[in-house]
């Protein structure tokens, strides 16, 4: 009995010590929070989110209508609060620019990676949720613009909507007259580095150093997103042709390889060129499954005996030539990287044989695009509709949200237009240029064309 009492006494002592530790921890935690709040309160321009937004709207309504810039994750939550100044600005002919996070952006994937273990958020579900919010926001903005056009009897509403490809850092709004409301997003939810309260500033307000830094950082971040990391909301995907649009084989290298092949086969270069062309369609449709098999077919057409070792050697010459000689067309790589930074999805559709796989890997195209559709894998050739719809479906995109870019060979531009894509011809023949919606001389002109494409109503309806 005495031993049992001793055990109880010891347990009670341990429990008391534990309770004391918890008490001290709680006291320290609440003291820390009070100190944190006290530190925040020293910044006279920091308010709870709802108060800051209310002050911003009130200050803006007290002045003449002005241009407005808005940025957020989906902007959906801000629309109700900001609608009075949005309506007034648009009806007065002022410009309203809105930035929302792109559903497929690298920023969203980075945020998902940070949150996955902490909140068990699935990337696909998070992307779909964000995409749904963007569609709802676009529909609301479209309805707002149409209502203002009708009520105010004006021909054009200056509403520009873009989606950005970057980790979300701020949400907020600013006006040309100098009013500002901005709040930070958490970059790492496990280690919050900034307060979640919002900064409000009106024109003529004197800001402390902390608030002034936040205001300037927000302004610079918005400008950077708008110029370098965003795209119009109506266009999501750019679908490229491959050969003579993104990559090219220098004629001198190709000629040298063909001369060696014709010598080994025992035919003239002219004959080899004819046999190569005669097997092109079957090879590109996958009816001839490999480069070795294609050379076997060429040897048969030339009346030569079947020689497996020779076919392998000929295929090796072709593959080595492509691996060493393939190069990007002028400005192609820079254009792909710019489009990726702006948040466009990038796909490739090409009438190609099995040898194109090595060319794609050697050129670096594969690491700069999101989806590749090659005709020998599909069993169809452009201008077949499947050569356009399959790569778009792989990215969850639609023809109305997409642009096709090519040199116009194989009647590819007509096929793209038939599916519903906007078409851009790069150089190309007169027939190709005639079939295109836009013609450019070089790929470095493509981004400027994409910036002009979506109109207000078409752009917003497409995303919706």
For 401-458, what is each residue's pLDDT tens digit?
Answer: 899 999 999 899 999 999 999 999 998 777 777 889 999 999 999 999 998 886 433 3
Q: How far is CA 103 from CA 111, 129, 147, 271, 330, in A?
A: 12, 8, 27, 52, 31
Order of strands across the sheet with 46-47?
A: 46-47, 198-201, 180-184, 170-175, 68-71, 96-101, 159-164, 230-232
Q: What does the H/E/C string look like for the chain?
A: CHHHHHHHHHHHHHHHHHHHHHHHHHHHHHHHHHHHHHHHHCCCCEECHHHHHHHHHHHHHCCCCCCEEEECCCCHHHHHHHHHHHHHHHHCCCCEEEEEECCCCHHHHHHHHHHHHHHCCCHHHHHHHHHHHHHHHHHHHHHHHHHHHHHHCCCCCCEEEEEECCCCCEEEEEECCCCEEEEECCCCCCCCCCCCCEEEECCCCCCCHHHHHHHHHHHHHHHHHHHHCEEECCCCEEEECCECCCEECCHHHHHHHHHHHHHHHCCCHHHHHHHHHHCHHHHHCCCCCCHHHHHHHHHHHCCCCCCHHHHHHHHHHHHHHHHHHCEECCCHHHHHHHHHHHCCEEEEEECCCCCHHHHHHHHCCHHHCCEEEEHHHHCCCCCCCHHHHHHHHHCCCCHHHEEEEECCHHHHHHHHHHHCCEEEEECCCHHHHHHCCEEECCHHHHHHHHHHCCCHHHHHHHHC
Q: Is 150 exposed, middle or buried (0-12, 13-18, 19+ CB in 10 A)?
A: exposed
The pLDDT tens digits for 250-263 are 999 999 999 999 99
**CA 337, CA 384: separation in Å to the nearest integer?**
28
pLDDT tens digit at each of 464 positions of the chain: 555 455 545 555 555 545 555 454 454 544 454 444 444 445 678 888 889 999 999 999 999 999 999 998 888 888 989 999 999 999 999 999 999 988 767 666 666 566 555 555 566 676 777 778 888 888 899 899 999 988 888 888 899 999 998 888 889 999 999 999 998 875 544 444 444 578 898 887 888 888 888 899 999 999 999 999 999 888 889 999 999 999 998 999 999 999 999 999 999 999 999 999 999 999 999 999 999 999 999 999 999 988 999 999 999 999 999 888 899 999 999 999 999 999 899 999 999 998 888 888 888 899 999 999 999 999 999 999 999 999 999 988 899 889 999 999 989 999 999 999 999 999 877 777 788 999 999 999 999 999 888 643 333 444 43
Q: What is the pTM of this model?
A: 0.79
Q: What is the pLDDT of residues 85-103, one digit of tens each?
A: 999 999 999 999 999 988 7
Interval 27-71: pLDDT, tens: 454 445 444 444 444 567 888 888 999 999 999 999 999 999 999
Sheet bearing 237-240, strands edge to edge: 371-374, 345-350, 237-240, 402-406, 422-426, 438-440
Chain position carrying tokens 């008391």:
16
Q: What pLDDT is stored for residue 185 in this prediction?
A: 73
% of the chain surpassing 70 pLDDT: 81
């Amino acid at each position: 009995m005495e031993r049992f009492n001793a055990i109880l006494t010891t347990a009670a002592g341990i429990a008391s010590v534990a309770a004391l530790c918890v008490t001290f921890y709680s006291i320290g935690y609440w003291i820390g929070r009070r100190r944190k709040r006290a530190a925040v309160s020293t910044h006279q321009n920091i308010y709870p989110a709802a108060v800051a937004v209310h002050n911003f709207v009130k200050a803006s309504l007290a002045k003449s209508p002005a241009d407005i810039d808005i940025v957020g994750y989906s902007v959906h939550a801000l629309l109700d609060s900001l609608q009075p100044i949005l309506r007034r600005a648009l009806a007065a002919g002022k410009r309203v620019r809105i930035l929302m996070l792109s559903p497929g952006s690298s920023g969203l994937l980075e945020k998902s990676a940070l949150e996955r273990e902490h909140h068990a958020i699935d990337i696909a579900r998070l992307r779909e949720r964000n995409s749904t919010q963007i569609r709802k926001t676009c529909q609301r903005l479209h309805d707002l613009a149409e209502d203002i056009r009708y009520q105010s009897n004006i021909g054009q509403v200056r509403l520009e909507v873009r989606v950005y490809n970057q980790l979300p850092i701020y949400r907020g709004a600013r006006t040309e007259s100098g009013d500002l409301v901005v709040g930070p997003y958490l970059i790492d939810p496990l280690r919050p580095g900034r307060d979640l309260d919002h900064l409000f500033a009106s024109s003529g307000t004197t800001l402390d150093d902390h608030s002034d830094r936040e205001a300037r950082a927000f302004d610079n971040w918005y400008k950077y997103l708008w110029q370098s990391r965003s795209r119009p909301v109506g266009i999501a995907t750019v679908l490229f042709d491959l050969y003579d649009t993104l990559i090219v084989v220098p004629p001198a290298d190709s000629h040298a390889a063909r001369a060696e092949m014709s010598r080994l086969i025992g035919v003239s270069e002219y004959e080899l060129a004819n046999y190569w062309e005669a097997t092109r369609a079957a090879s590109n449709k996958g009816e001839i499954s490999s480069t070795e098999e294609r050379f076997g077919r060429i040897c048969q057409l030339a009346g030569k005996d079947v020689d497996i070792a020779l076919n392998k050697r000929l295929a090796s010459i072709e593959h080595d030539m492509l691996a060493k000689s393939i190069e990007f067309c002028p400005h192609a790589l820079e254009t792909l990287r710019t489009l990726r930074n702006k948040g466009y999805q990038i796909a490739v559709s090409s009438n190609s044989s099995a040898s194109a796989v090595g060319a794609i890997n050697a050129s670096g195209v594969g690491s700069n695009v999101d989806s590749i559709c090659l005709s020998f894998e599909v069993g169809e050739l452009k201008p077949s509709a499947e050569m356009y719809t399959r790569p778009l479906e792989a990215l969850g995109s639609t023809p109305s949200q997409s642009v096709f870019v090519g040199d116009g060979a194989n009647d590819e531009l007509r096929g793209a237009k038939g599916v519903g894509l906007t078409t851009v011809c790069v150089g190309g023949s007169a027939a190709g240029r005639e079939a295109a919606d836009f013609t450019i001389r070089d790929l470095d002109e493509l981004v400027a064309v994409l910036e002009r494409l979506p109109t207000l109503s078409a752009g917003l309806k497409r995303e919706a």
